[in-house]
Amino acid sequence: MGKSFDLNLVFDFLPKLLSYLHITLLILVGAVLIGLLVGFLAALPRIYNIPVLRTLSAIYVSFIRGTPILIQLFLVYYGLPELLKTIQIDVTHMSSLVFVIITYGFSIGALFSEIIRAAVSAVDRGQTEAAYAIGMTPIAAFVRIVLPQALTIAFPNFANLVISYLKDTSLAFYIGVMDMTGRGQTLGTATNHFLEVYISLAIIYYAVCILLEKCFSLLETRMLRYERQFPVSQ
C-alpha cells in the first residue's frame, strides 16, 4: 500500500518529471522522421504494384499492425544485436534510446504507409491522366500533382498517429530508457507516493497532447487555406 495522498506532492513532482520531457520528445521526433521516410518507401511499391516489393511491404505492415509495440521494442532491443553479430557488427554498447527510436520509427512508418496509400487513392485519377496528357512523367505527376493533395488528405490521420505514439513512448522505460515515465517510476519507488506521480504524469502528457492538437490544427488550417480561397462549386 502507498502512503496517504498528498496533493502538494503532485506539484512537487511536476518540475522533476518535466526535466525529462525532452527525452520523450526526442523519441517522438526521431521516430516521426524515420517513420516518414520508411512510410513513403513502404507505400510506393503498393501504390504502383511493384512485384516482390509490394508483398514485402504488405508483410511488414501486417506484422507491425498485428503485434504490440512493447513486443516490437523487445524484439529490436534483444534481437537486432544478435542479428548484427552474424555479420560481425557489435551494437551491444549502443544506447537503449537508439533502439527505442528505431523501433518507434519503423512502427510509425508502417501505419503512415497505410495512411499515405489511402490518401493517394483518394486523389482523382483524372488529374494524373491530365498530367500525363500534357507531357509530365509519372514521377513528376506524382510529386507535383498527387503528393501535395495526398498529404493534405492524410494530415488529420497523421496528426492522430503522432499524438497516439507520444503516449506510447511511455513504454520505453521497459528497456531502460529514463524518460518521464521512467523517472516517475523511480520517484514512486523512492517516495511510495505512486498516485501523485501518476497524476503528475497524466497532467504533463495531457498538456503536451493538447498543445500538439492546437499546432496540428493550425497547420491543417494553413494547408487547407486554398479551399477557402477557391471553393469548389457544387
- What is the phi-psi region of residue 192: left when phi exceeds 0, alpha when psi lies from -120 to 50, beta otherwise? left
pLDDT averaged over every residue in the chain:
88
What residue spans define the domains of the chain?
1-20+179-234, 22-177
Rounded CA-CA distance 67/103 in Å is 12
Residue 233: per-residue pLDDT: 39
- State pTM to two decimals: 0.86
What secondary structure letter does DSSP report for 211?
A: H
C-alpha cell at 9: 506532492
Over the stretch 107-143, which tens digit does the pLDDT of each residue have? 999 999 999 988 888 887 777 778 778 878 777 887 7
Sign of CA dihedral 33, 69, 82, 55: negative
Residue 127: per-residue pLDDT: 77
Distances (CA, A) of 93 to 20, 34, 129: 22, 22, 52
* Of residues 142, 148, 197, 210, the one with CA closest to residue 20: 197
Mean pLDDT computed over 2-6: 75
* Of residues 168, 157, 178, 166, the one with CA closest to residue 212: 166
1: CB partners within 8 A, 6+ apart: none
Q: What is the DSSP string of 9-73?
A: HHHHHHHHHHTTHHHHHHHHHHHHHHHHHHHHHHHHHHHTT-TTHHHHHHHHHHHHHHS-HHHHH
Residue at 166: amino acid letter: L
CATH topology of domain 22-177: MetI-like fold (1.10.3720)
SS3 for 178? coil
Over the stretch 192-234, which tens digit does the pLDDT of each residue have? 899 999 999 999 999 999 999 999 999 888 877 755 554 443 3
